[in-house]
Chain A
């Protein structure tokens, strides 16, 4: 397991994990230990919001893994996120049992409403937690495997791949909007009661989910770091910068791409599974191409090919979104659109690029980091 241990020797990973653990601990303590009236008390609402940001951050790390290190701009990662979310949502729906509005012992409310008399085959097994959690990884993983196998084998790369991934998530969105699909149509899955026996409304469960999101982010980060720091990661970076040359050197680029793509999709699925119990709903809008492309902007703002940049970007943009949509909702799309343009035109390396420039003297990133060079582009 020494490849998993290597990240812990990197200064950036240590620093990232340190900050993350401290933040988790501080928020938890401030929420649980202090009374509600205390000025430093962090409300459960805020904790859940932060938990949501952390699951988004994990999603951004997954996107950065394929975009930053593999040069594959996926405009469909929202699909993997949503699939993980739906797997979790289906488990939560089955947990409701007979406490639904219609009180049916097995069927979720929307199926009773649609006059279905039995559970569709693909809903079987989701009453068991282990099965559902396995599906959180498997559903996005298998989709990524099939899709990636077809795409990488025929060497579809660059813009073509981006547009096809966008079409993929668009097609899935249309499909999930259909009531006949058996995923609740455009209302999606909601009205969850409990997870693993814990009441989802209780404060402790919410803090627990927040911590779980933080831990998942840390683990995901370590896995990604381990991948990009290994020999496999070097091949990734090589194929990003000169795919044909790497192939001529004898590497099976499409296998590397496929492996990393599937890992990334699974991480996105986990992020989705953590997101759903915290926001309490999953619906087809998570499949919308706009959401997928938004993820890319988080990464772009934070800085590609750094992983921690993705985390910074995801948290910053989503915090801004929370503020904007609360204060002046109509300005949010202006801000987001402007962000797209500004980041790509003026800040190609993102915030991480600024930080790296600032700390250049004090710390060198060392080999294997895969910093982006100015002219690199994969067509």
Chain B
């Protein structure tokens, strides 16, 4: 979030910042006791009515070189620096949720237990003060222990450097050892030098994707100095190209991510529908069961969302597989060779399962907590970052696909499945128990749907309608890829995902989806057996 610094003149802000920096640079651990009284006075000064006096008081706090200044200012910014009503002592609220707030003494740092919010007075600030505080605090971060904090602080400075600050930054650059932080500091300096009309500075900025740098270059490209304008213009063109490339990569990533979701949802169907020829309209609800399993696991293991997600991979598989077996035994086995009836009956099952979840759990959506190691994103550069949860789901989809390929190609079960689907009577004559193979295959396909649910729970809300929204897409993917062909499902899912994402920017999400559906409908007219039609005996089934 950009902070409104416009309320205060830049020079004032810079003065504060520079003051702060100089005190930090010169900072040495000072015995707290020597400043005990001083601290009380500093805080007293903050609790005045006029905001202009407060601004001055904040400067005093910064100048005081007090080691607790950082904590005070942060608390002040968050509205957590408060005063007890009865004795007027200053406290910092550590957690302002509920009615009883745990507080600690602002001067000594001792915990004072919980205090009712009614017994506290907040020290108020306005937006101008907030801006002042934020910039001061961000400078403090430049000296933080952690690399990430320093990087972020340096990043924020790009485009905000002026003469006074640049000297401080020069000094900071001498002592900074981390390359990333250095690079950003140098960029911040280069933007400043560019503003001063230094053509050489452009060189340092070329290739950067930072938006503040682009703003600075754009401004420079309109400057009166032809050399500067020209250099900036050239830099901008090359940046623009890189940006385009990155946007392309981002679209590709989102496409692959959507594709992986489609593949996950459809791959189980590719087994039950594609290989066995059973139309299971309840497939989406099996996905939903997998997602709810994840949610239930997290309820069972509170505080350990990561472990729960990992455990729900086998659990989701089992739950969905068992549900699949139940559907196969109770409905599908009686409708062998009547695909349209199977379609209707399993649709009925899907309605029952949906309503069951609505009645037993809740009609409302449930949220699955994303474990820490799955949240956040992988930052490639300033313009491209890949969200981790989608990356995990993409990897998971590929692993599931590879596993399924192995089962179908390399195991006894896979062999028997293929035998039974190609020629049931002959397979039985060879001693294969066809009924057992039916059950196991259906369980496998259903279990994979459960796995899809576990993955989907990381991306969307878990609700009774979760499955419904994927069933048509899944069938489309299987039909598009070619029934009975797992590779076809992978290629179809991924390409549909990418097509959808490519169309989305200029057509909008809904229209893109419609266009993809229409595209598939037309495609099937042209190639009724999909991208990769089966050849040979299996095709006749």
Q: A333-B351, A341-B345 are in contact. Are A167 and B476 (CB under 8 A)?
A: yes
**Minimum distance in angstroms from B348 CB to a CB of chain A:** 2
Given contacts A174-B514, A345-B334, A378-B340, contact A330 B359 (CB under 8 A): yes
> Contacts of B301 on A, CB cut-off 8 Å?
none
Interface bits B317-341 vs A (CB < 8 Å: 1, else 0)? 0000000000000010011011111
Q: A170 contacts B517, CB within 8 Å?
A: yes
Q: Which stretch from B3-11, B86-94, B125-133, B519-527 is at the chain A interface?
A: B519-527
State whether B344 touches A163 (Cβ < 8 A): no
- Determine whether B358 belongs to the interface, using a CB cutoff of 8 Å to chain A: yes
A150 near B348 (CB under 8 angstroms)? no
A320 sits at the interface (CB 8 A):
no
Interface 1/0s, chain B 134-149, versus A by CB < 8 A?
Answer: 0000000000000000
In the complex, B217 has a CB within 8 A of chain A: no
Instruction: Decide: B517 and A167 in contact? CB cutoff 8 A.
Output: yes
A324 smallest CB distance to B (angstroms)? 12
Q: Which residues of B contact A160 (CB under 8 A)?
A: 479, 524, 528
**Are A333 and B340 within 8 A (Cβ)?**
no
Is B399 in the interface zone, CB < 8 Å from A?
no
Contact flag A345-B279 (CB < 8 Å), given A164-B524, A171-B514, A333-B352:
no
Please measure, in the bound complex, the distance between the C-alpha atom of A293 and the C-alpha atom of B524, giving whole angstroms: 22
Q: In the bound complex, how far is the Cα of B226 from the Cα of A158, in angstroms?
A: 71
Asked if B518 is at the interface of the complex by the 8 Å CB criterion, the answer is: yes
A residues 296-337 in Cβ contact with B at 8 Å: 296-297, 300, 330, 333-334, 336-337
Known contacts A167-B472, A293-B344; decide if A377 and B514 are in contact (CB<8 Å). Answer: no
Known: A150-B525, A158-B339, A159-B279. A337 touches B479 (CB 8 A): no
* Chain A CB within 8 A of B475 CB: yes
A177 CA / B528 CA spacing, docked (Å): 30
Q: Which of A163, A164, A178 has the most CB of B within 10 A?
A: A163
CB contact under 8 A between A154 and B472, given known A344-B335, A345-B331? no
**A159 near B522: Cβ-Cβ < 8 Å:** no
Q: Which of B349, B350, B521 has the most CB of A within 10 A?
A: B521
Chain B residues with Cβ below 8 Å from A378 are: 340
B520, A338: Cβ atoms closer than 8 Å: no
Evaluate contact between A340 and B524: CB separation under 8 angstroms.
no
CB distance from A66 to the nearest CB of B (A): 12
B343 at the A/B interface (Cβ < 8 Å)? yes
The answer to whether B355 touches A73, judged by C-beta atoms less than 8 angstroms apart, is no
Q: Is the CB of A119 closer than 8 A to any CB of chain B? A: no
The residue on B at minimum CB distance from A336 is B351
Task: Give residues 142-165 of A contacting B (CB, 8 Å).
Answer: 147, 150-151, 153-156, 158-160, 162-164
Kindly identify which residue among B341, B350, B354, B479 contacts A348, using a CB–CB cutoff of 8 Å.
B341
Q: Which residues of A contact B518 (CB under 8 A)?
A: 171
Query: Which among B354, B475, B476 is the interface contact of A333 at CB below 8 angstroms?
Result: B354
* Complexed CA–CA distance, A245 and B352 (Å): 40
Which residue from B349, B355, B525 sits with its C-beta under 8 Å from A153? B525
Q: A334 to chain B: which residues have CB within 8 Å?
A: 351-352, 355-356
Given the interface contacts A159-B279, A344-B344, does A167 sit within 8 Å of B521 by beta carbon? yes
Residues in B with CB closer than 8 Å to A297 are 344, 348
Question: Which residues of chain A have C-beta atoms less than 8 A from B407's C-beta?
Answer: none
B511 CB within 8 Å of chain A = yes
Contact check, A337 vs B350: say whether CB atoms are below 8 A apart. yes
A contact residues around B476 at 8 Å (CB)? 163, 167
Pick the contact of B339 from A159, A293, A339 — CB < 8 Å?
Answer: A159
Given A178-B510, A337-B355, verify A344-B517 contact (CB < 8 Å). Answer: no
Q: A215 at interface (Cβ–Cβ under 8 A)?
A: no
Instruction: Evaluate whether A174 and B510 lie within 8 angstroms (CB atoms) in the complex, with A153-B525, A289-B472 already known.
Output: yes
Task: Note all chain A residues with C-beta closer than 8 A to B517.
Answer: 167-168, 170-171
8 Å CB interface, B456-497 against A? 472, 475-476, 479
Report the nearest B residue to A156, measured CB to CB: B528
Interface membership of B347, Cβ < 8 A: yes
Complex Cα distance, B350 from A167, in Å, reads 18
Cβ–Cβ contact A340 & B347, under 8 A: yes
The verdict on A166 contacting chain B, using a C-beta distance below 8 Å, is yes
Residues on the A chain within 8 Å of B156, using CB = none
Q: Is B513 an interface residue (CB 8 A)?
A: yes
Question: Which chain A residues lie closer than 8 Å to B279 at the CB level?
Answer: 159
* Residue numbers in B under 8 Å from A153 (CB-CB): 525
In the complex, are the beta carbons of A345 and B524 less than 8 A apart?
no
Q: How far is the CB of B513 from chain A (nearest CB, A)?
A: 6
Whether the pair B348, A154 counts as a contact (CB closer than 8 A) is no
Task: Give the CA-CA distance A375 to B337 in the complex, in Å.
Answer: 9
CA distance A59 to B206 in the complex (A): 67
Measured CA separation A191–B202 after assembly (Å) = 64
B528 in contact with A154 (CB, 8 Å): yes
* Contact status A341-B340, CB under 8 Å: no
Smallest CB gap from B348: residue in A: A340
A297 to B349, alpha carbons, bound, how many Å?
13
Q: Is the CB of B472 within 8 A of A166?
A: yes
A345 is contacted by which of B335, B359, B511, B521 (Cβ under 8 Å)? Answer: B335
Residue A14 is within 8 A (CB to CB) of chain B in the complex: no
CA distance in complex: A297, B526 (Å): 31
B533 smallest CB distance to A (angstroms): 13
Instruction: List 24 contacting pairs A-B, 8 Å CB cutoff, sorted by A.
Output: A154-B528, A156-B524, A159-B339, A160-B479, A166-B472, A167-B476, A174-B514, A293-B347, A296-B344, A330-B355, A330-B358, A330-B359, A333-B354, A333-B355, A333-B358, A334-B351, A338-B348, A338-B352, A341-B348, A344-B335, A377-B337, A377-B339, A377-B340, A377-B341
18 extra interchain contacts, Cβ-Cβ under 8 A, other than A167-B521, A344-B348?
Answer: A73-B340, A147-B521, A154-B526, A160-B528, A174-B514, A178-B510, A178-B511, A296-B344, A300-B344, A336-B351, A337-B349, A340-B344, A340-B345, A340-B348, A340-B349, A341-B345, A348-B341, A377-B340
A interface, CB within 8 angstroms of B: 73, 147, 150-151, 153-156, 158-160, 162-164, 166-168, 170-171, 174-175, 177-178, 289, 293, 296-297, 300, 330, 333-334, 336-341, 343-345, 348, 375, 377-379
Q: Which 6 A-B residue pairs are closest in the complex by CB-CB distance? A: A340-B348, A337-B351, A337-B352, A333-B355, A344-B345, A337-B348
What residues make up the interface of B, taking CB atoms closer than 8 Å to A?
A: 279, 331, 334-335, 337-345, 347-352, 354-356, 358-359, 472, 475-476, 479, 510-511, 513-514, 517-518, 520-522, 524-526, 528
